[in-house]
Structure 1
Amino acid sequence: MTDEDSARLGLPLLAAGQAQKELWHNEALALLDIAVQATVEELGRNAPPAAPQPGQCWIVGATPTGAWSGRAGAIAGWTAGGWRFVAARAGLCARHLPSGETAVCDGIGWQTGEVRATSLVVDGVQVVGARGPAITVPSSGAMIDAELRACVEAILIMLRKHGLIAS
């Protein structure tokens, strides 16, 4: 990135009095087309595919080869003008088309399979929320029936609180 590039996505910026502004503008649009609402065909691929189609993208692996050399971790997108790359930055997300999972760059690499949230809402009903306190396990003795009832009641309360069973 230089002073002529945007801070977050490394998009080329226009300079005052610059000739052929349309080239810089079109380059920025091509990179935005890759980065915004990013979707990728494959995660961690090291070699460019043999016959990419315009608009297809991949997350480049750790040991890239060929036209992808030196672009580890970037999103590589095929355009009418050839390969374009968006460097990975913490927080950048891409949908993996085959699995439907979201890949998130954590600043070191791309992570999949993890969803971070404070709650899960389905059809307007919260079904999972913050973790509750531990439930005491019955330990036997003369009061085992009372302990077991208290344990089952605590489990039911938490299942209802999380919306996993109806109240």
Structure 2
Amino acid sequence: MATPREAPAAGNCWIVDGAATGAWASEAGRLALWTAGGWRIVAPLSGMRVRRISDGAALRFGGSKWTLPIAIANPDGGTTIGLEARAAIDALLALMVAHGIMIAD
């Protein structure tokens, strides 16, 4: 997000966009947390993860930037062996989505 919200609730947090303005200017990539005392800007540590509310994705800070998990489409078509393999792959994909490792396509 590039522009600070006017009336956020205490505890709301955003990853500051590179084009940030106002209270967030020059804070790109950092976390902006609203508290009863105002904005608190926090530098993320390598390996830190946050959950994005809009789609449930678990973003990870790699030391220099935030990255999204990889989205993989479910396999389609094939024979009986292919059907069994797809069922196993579907189960693995569902588990990874449930743990925030990746986002559903």
**2:4 paired with 1:51:** no
Shift of 1:70: 1.8
Which has the greater radius of gyration?
1
Q: Which residue of the partner structure matches residue 90 of structure 1?
A: 46
- The alignment of Structure 1 onto Structure 2 pairs a total of residues equal to 85
Residue 44 of structure 2 aligns to a residue whose secondary structure is: coil
Q: Which residue of the partner structure matches residue 34 of structure 2?
A: 78
Shift of 1:153: 6.7
**2:88 paired with 1:162:** yes
Shift of 1:162: 3.2
Deviation >6 Å, runs of 4+:
none
RMSD of the alignment, in Å? Answer: 2.7
Q: Structure 1 stretches of 5 or more lacking a match?
A: 1-44, 116-150
Q: Structure 2 stretches of 5 or more lacking a match?
A: 72-77, 92-105
Identity %: 36
Residue 162 of structure 1 aligns to a residue whose secondary structure is: helix
Alignment counterpart, residue 65 of structure 1, candidates 18, 21, 40: 21
Q: If the length of structure 2 is used for normalisation, what is the TM-score?
A: 0.66
Residue 159 of structure 1 aligns to a residue whose secondary structure is: helix
CA distance in 1, matches of 2:90, 2:23: 50
Shift of 1:48: 0.7
Structure with higher RCO (Cα < 8 A, 6+ apart): 2
The superposition leaves residues 31-63 of structure 1 with CA deviations (integer Å, 9 ceiling, x where unpaired) of xxxxxxxxxxxxxx1111111111111110012
